[in-house]
Amino acid sequence: MAPIRILVVDDSVVIRKVLSEGLSADRELEVVGVAGDGRIALAKIALLKPDLLTLDIEMPVMDGLTTLAEVRKLYPKLPVIMFSTLSHHGAAATLDALALGASDYIAKPGNTGNPQVALDRVLNELIRKIKALCGKAPIKPLPLPVAQAALKARSKADARIEVVAIGTSTGGPNALAEVLPRINNDFPVPIVVVQHMPPIFTRLLAERLASRSAIAVEEGRAGALLCAGHAWIAPGNFHMKVTHTGLEWRLSINQAAPENSCRPAVDVLFRSVTAAYGANVLGVVMTGMGSDGVLGARAIRDAGGNVIIQDESSSVVWGMPGLVHASGLADGAYPLDCLAEEITRRVQQSRVSRAPVEMKSHATAGSEAK
């Protein structure tokens, strides 16, 4: 199979050299050209016809955002990975880039720790993302022992939904911007979200989503009381969990070891909502690279809850939802523009068909167990 052809665009000669050498060391990748600014990049795209573009945000002559806008006009389906800095300005520019149609991003390492270790981390992450965006990351079902438990749990699958838990990664900011603003302000349950992003990025994402949504959206914080019509985004570099005491459900955050190379991790959140709410959970797995969320989806299904996923055609990367599907854990797959409607329908239908006493009995059982 032909290697993935990459055009590296960065104003730094050193960065261009490092990326070219590092990427070309992988037999499945080929750097076919480099460019020091956006104008040169646009000319080289036409000549070299790359499969993917890496694009620095801050460049002279034509910066990354301006270049990206032009690329999207001329080559709407060309995958583009942005390079940004771990700063407030870098995070804001990255979210702007994603809104303009960037496929994903890489945060440049700061001036701390071992430079070689940081460089290796960036290259490994970049290579994984390139292969995922260009279809070279095959989806294989995990060997999950779920069949018997899932069959037993289906008898409770129409339980009254009391929380919606969403997990997403690559393509997630734009997907969340499609889903959360379509949720009405009278939404009767809380929403908790893991989006794989570093610190600062998650806070700015929550603020942007809040400005466009009828429901309240904010970054999760320790001790926050869950309430209806409110969404919380897990803070970068922290796992977010839901805890249950008596008739209260609150958030907790921690910096335990990453899971699936992620912190926050979808699996951590999904397991916690299952422990806190039992069968009264609707899990939603949206576009994203990797396997985070599969074990959490199993936990939700084993407890009697439901899991739905974003479909392949509307996902930037059908890794996370694709693995949930391949592992037999999805109760339905829906296009991105139908997800908010489906989430609302399922929540409302469960509350019509199930009396509030069911949740009360669940809470009482939880209290007695303590």
d(CA 102, CA 326): 27
Cis peptide bond upstream of 264, omega within 30: yes
pLDDT higher than 60, residue 362: no
Report the 10 Å Cβ neighbour count for 275: 15
CA geometry: angle 290, 304, 147, nearest 5 deg: 65
pLDDT digits (tens, 9 = 90+) for 279-327: 999 999 999 999 999 999 999 999 999 999 999 999 999 999 999 999 9
Q: What is the pLDDT of residue 138?
A: 58
Q: Kindly report the average pLDDT of the chain as a whole number.
A: 90
Q: What is the pLDDT of residue 322?
A: 95
Backbone angles phi, psi at 81, to 5 degrees: -110, 120
CATH architecture of 4-133: 3-Layer(aba) Sandwich (3.40)
Q: What is the pLDDT of residue 140?
A: 57
pLDDT higher than 80, residue 158: no
**How confident is residue 157, by pLDDT bands cut at 50, 70 and 90?**
low
| Residue from 200, 339, 166, 146 nearest 269 by CA | 166
CATH architecture of 147-369: 3-Layer(aba) Sandwich (3.40)
Q: What is the pLDDT of residue 103?
A: 96
d(CA 67, CA 187): 39
d(CA 159, CA 156): 6
Domain ranges for the chain: 4-133, 147-369
Residue 369: is it exposed, middle or buried by C-beta count within 10 angstroms (0-12/13-18/19+)? exposed
One-character DSSP codes across 225-279: BP-TTEEEEPPTTSEEEEEEETTEEEEEEE-PPPBTTBSS-HHHHHHHHHHHHTT
Domains 4-133 and 147-369 share a fold: yes
State the average pLDDT over residues 17-29: 95
One-character DSSP codes across 56-125: ESS-SSS-HHHHHHHHHHH-TT--EEEEEESSHHHHHHHHHHHHHT--EEEEEP-S-S-HHHHHHHHHHH
Enzyme catalytic residues: 169, 196, 292
| Residue from 194, 6, 33, 183 nearest 103 by CA | 6
Phi-psi region of 156 (alpha: psi -120 to 50; beta: other; left: phi over 0): alpha
d(CA 24, CA 235): 35
**How confident is residue 364, by pLDDT bands cut at 50, 70 and 90?**
very low
State the average pLDDT over residues 340-357: 83
Q: Do β-strands 163-168 and 281-285 pair in parallel, antiparallel, or remain unpaired? A: parallel
Q: What is the pLDDT of residue 354?
A: 56
d(CA 259, CA 26): 26
Structural element, H or E, at residue 206 = helix 201-212
Query: Helix %, strand %, coil % for the chain, to 5?
Result: 45, 20, 35
**221 in helix, strand or coil?**
coil
pLDDT higher than 60, residue 344: yes
| E strand segments, 292-339 | 306-310, 333-334
